[in-house]
């Protein structure tokens, strides 16, 4: 039996965050706001000061690091912390509901074990904190598919953000138009994920499998269903030898529970029945959530919008194949631009 997760200590967080920021975060643990906290991204809005915020952040980090160590010590091949995935937190400030970047700390741990890391983010919001953490590194390749920064926080993640210095070519972004559906997302994911992971050949895959690209999510503007979401998750499992999986965003709590249950089952080779438990569906509807009784989501987007979202995805993939692919000597078949249209 594997050890239970324990709360991390501040020392562990120092692998990524500055001492000054961690000291401020610890001071704010009493929940009393001070003006100086605003300089570290905390205050009214996305990152409120609340009692126990430092303890909470260390608990999330502890769970992620327990999973990372199990993988790094080769005790397990795959591990999932659905409470993890604080991908917006920066070295010296909070951002986007995120105070301690457990992903960056876990990646630093894998790097200390001389492991090459690929990070894949399918949150509706661009994984800016993780990208910034390793923007100049060629030992970490970050791939983020997300709603375009033109229509959603944090306003970054465009195709020209490709890394710098040694990390040039190791930051890959696929911004997608608001309203993107399963077909477009699956097409875009398949265009980049497999060629890149095959060429980079990481020792460990770290991924954020957020649920806020779903058409039911109240904080984003995408139109995915479980079909598009699980396609990416299955591909990540197929192509990884060791895999740290983290939850990330998802603001329709019942659909998030449904989708992360599917991820957990996939990681554990469990086939679930398609029918949701009756009590779960009843509770969801009682609380005002429009939830059907199946694990799979039958929603389909109207035809009128499909060409708009596909065109933007095609433009993003074209940019990546013109810039990133040559840097890694990834072969592109002659005339591939013709295949971008259908």
Average pLDDT of span 233-255: 96
Residue 25's Cα: distance from chain center in Å? 24
Least confident of 122-131, 169-178, 271-280, 286-295: 286-295
Beta-sheet pairing, 171-176 with 140-147: parallel
CATH topology of domain 53-340: 3.40.800
* Distances in whole angstroms, Cα of residue 236 to Cα of each of 113, 119, 239, 276: 22, 11, 5, 25
Q: Is the pLDDT of residue 303 over 70?
A: no
Map residue 252 onto helix, strand or coil.
coil
- Judged against a pLDDT cut of 70, whether residue 7 lies above it is answered with yes
Enumerate residues 6+ apart whose C-beta is below 8 A from 135. Answer: 163, 164, 167, 171
pLDDT of residue 342: 31
Nearest CA among 185, 183, 125, 134 for reference residue 156: 125
Average pLDDT, the chain: 93
Q: Which of these is catalytic: 88, 126, 146, 215?
A: 88
Preceding amide of 154 cis, omega within 30:
yes
Least Cα distance to 186 among 142, 147, 217, 230 occurs for: 230
pTM for the whole structure: 0.94
Instruction: Report domain extents, the chain.
Output: 19-51, 53-340
Copy the structure tokens of residue 246. 């983290």
Other Cβ atoms closer than 10 A to 154: 17
Task: List the beta bridge partners of residue 264.
Answer: none
The answer to whether the CB of 95 falls within 8 A of the CB of 133 is: no
β-pair partners for 95: 98
| Per-residue pLDDT tens over the stretch 73-88 | 999 999 999 999 999 9
Outline where DSSP puts E strands in the chain.
78-81, 117-121, 140-147, 171-176, 204-208, 243-246
Inter-CA distances, 185 with 38, 125, 151, 201, 312, Å? 37, 14, 17, 23, 11
88 is catalytic: yes
Tokens of residue 172, six digits: 């890959």
Q: How far apart, in whole angstroms, are the C-alpha atoms of residue 339 and residue 62?
A: 45
The confidence band for 200, taking pLDDT boundaries of 50, 70 and 90, is very high
Of residues 307 and 204, more confidence is placed in: 204
Of the pLDDT bands very low, low, confident and very high (cuts 50, 70, 90), residue 340 is very low
């Amino acid at each position: 039996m594997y050890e239970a997760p324990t709360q991390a200590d501040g020392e562990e967080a120092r692998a990524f965050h500055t001492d000054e920021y961690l000291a401020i975060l610890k001071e704010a643990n009493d929940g009393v706001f001070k003006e100086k906290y605003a300089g570290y991204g905390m205050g009214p809005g996305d990152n409120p000061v609340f009692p126990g915020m430092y303890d909470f952040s260390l608990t999330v980090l502890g769970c992620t690091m327990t999973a990372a160590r199990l993988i790094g010590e080769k005790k397990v091949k795959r591990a999932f912390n659905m409470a993890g995935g604080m991908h917006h937190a920066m070295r010296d400030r909070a951002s986007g509901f995120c105070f301690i970047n457990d992903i960056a700390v876990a990646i630093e741990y894998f790097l200390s074990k001389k492991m090459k890391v690929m990070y894949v983010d399918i949150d509706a919001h661009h994984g800016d904190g993780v990208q910034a953490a390793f923007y100049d590194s060629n030992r970490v390749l970050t791939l983020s598919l997300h709603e375009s920064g033109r229509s959603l926080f944090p306003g970054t993640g465009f195709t020209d953000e490709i890394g710098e210095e040694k990390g040039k070519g190791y930051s890959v972004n696929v911004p997608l138009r608001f309203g993107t559906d399963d077909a477009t997302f699956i097409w875009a994911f398949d265009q980049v994920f497999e060629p890149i992971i095959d060429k980079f050949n990481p020792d460990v895959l770290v991924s954020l499998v957020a649920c806020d690209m779903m058409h039911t999510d109240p904080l984003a503007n995408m139109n995915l269903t479980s079909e598009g979401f699980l396609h990416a998750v299955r591909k990540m499992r197929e192509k990884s030898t060791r895999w740290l999986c983290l939850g990330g965003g998802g603001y329709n709590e019942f659909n998030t529970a449904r989708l992360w249950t599917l991820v957990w089952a996939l990681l554990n080779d469990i086939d679930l029945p398609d029918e949701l438990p009756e009590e779960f569906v009843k509770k969801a509807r009682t609380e005002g959530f429009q939830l059907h009784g199946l694990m799979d989501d039958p929603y389909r987007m109207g035809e009128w919008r499909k060409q708009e979202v596909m065109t933007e995805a095609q433009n993003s993939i074209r940019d990546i194949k013109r810039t990133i692919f040559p840097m890694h000597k990834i072969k592109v078949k002659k005339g591939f631009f013709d295949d971008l249209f259908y």
